[in-house]
């Protein structure tokens, strides 16, 4: 569940350790940080597990909305272990201001078994490019959310991504 040594990237892994979302900094565009965004999932094709990936080369993510996401994550992650289980993380954000975008919706999911008492969190990721949309539901946990928050914080530092 390591985010690697790439200071230009932030990631979200599933609870079982699969890299699901990777956003790598490309450039700045006013109040936005432009990223290459990759959304990946394991799918079955001809009875063989296969990794399917959707990549958007340039997607402008709002710095302010990324900061809001980190604030919400940090507030939840600051709870004690007992409180984490009793307080499911619920937060939804749209990280773009245009028709193409990336949204993250954390909280209960009807079709996922989420053991919030163990720090697990359900998540819906939606990636849109024009009229094309792909989405993925997963279970993640507090450790993965800590890695996510740390990666985004690195990019929001005044010096910016390395």
Residues 95-122: tens digit of each pLDDT: 997 788 999 999 877 777 776 666 778 8
Query: For the chain, how many structural domains are there in total?
Result: 1
- H helices of the chain, in order, are 63-77, 81-86, 142-156
Phi/psi of residue 81, each to 5°?
Answer: -55, -45
- Roughly how many angstroms between the first and final C-alpha of the chain, as a whole number? 21
Q: How far is CA 13 from the centre of its chain?
A: 8
Bridge-partner residues for 49, per DSSP? 44
Q: Which residues, listed in sequence order, are joined to residue 103 by a DSSP beta bridge?
A: 94, 126
Residue 162 lies in a domain: no
Any domain includes 34: yes
Q: What is the span of the domain harbouring residue 141?
A: 9-156
Residue 4 domain-assigned? Answer: no
- Does the predicted TM-score (pTM) go above 0.75? yes
Longest dimension (CA), the chain: 48
3 lies in some domain: no
Q: Residue 140: inside a domain, yes or no?
A: yes
Tell me: the pLDDT tens digits for 20-64? Answer: 999 999 999 888 999 999 998 877 677 777 778 888 999 999 999
Residue 1 lies in a domain: no
């Amino acid at each position: 569940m390591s985010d690697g040594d790439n200071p230009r990237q932030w990631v979200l892994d599933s609870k079982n350790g699969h890299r699901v979302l990777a956003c790598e900094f490309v450039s700045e565009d006013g109040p936005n940080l432009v990223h290459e965004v990759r959304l990946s999932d394991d799918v079955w094709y001809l009875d063989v597990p296969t990794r399917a990936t959707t990549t958007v080369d340039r997607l402008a993510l709002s710095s302010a909305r990324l900061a809001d996401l980190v604030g919400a994550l940090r507030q939840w992650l600051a709870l004690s272990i007992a409180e984490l289980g009793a307080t499911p993380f619920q937060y939804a954000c749209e990280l773009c201001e245009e028709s193409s975008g990336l949204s993250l919706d954390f909280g209960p999911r009807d079709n996922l078994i989420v053991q919030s008492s163990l720090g697990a969190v359900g998540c819906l990721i939606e990636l849109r490019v024009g009229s094309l949309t792909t989405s993925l539901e997963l279970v993640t946990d507090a450790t993965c959310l800590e890695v996510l928050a740390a990666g985004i914080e690195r990019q929001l530092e005044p010096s910016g991504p390395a």
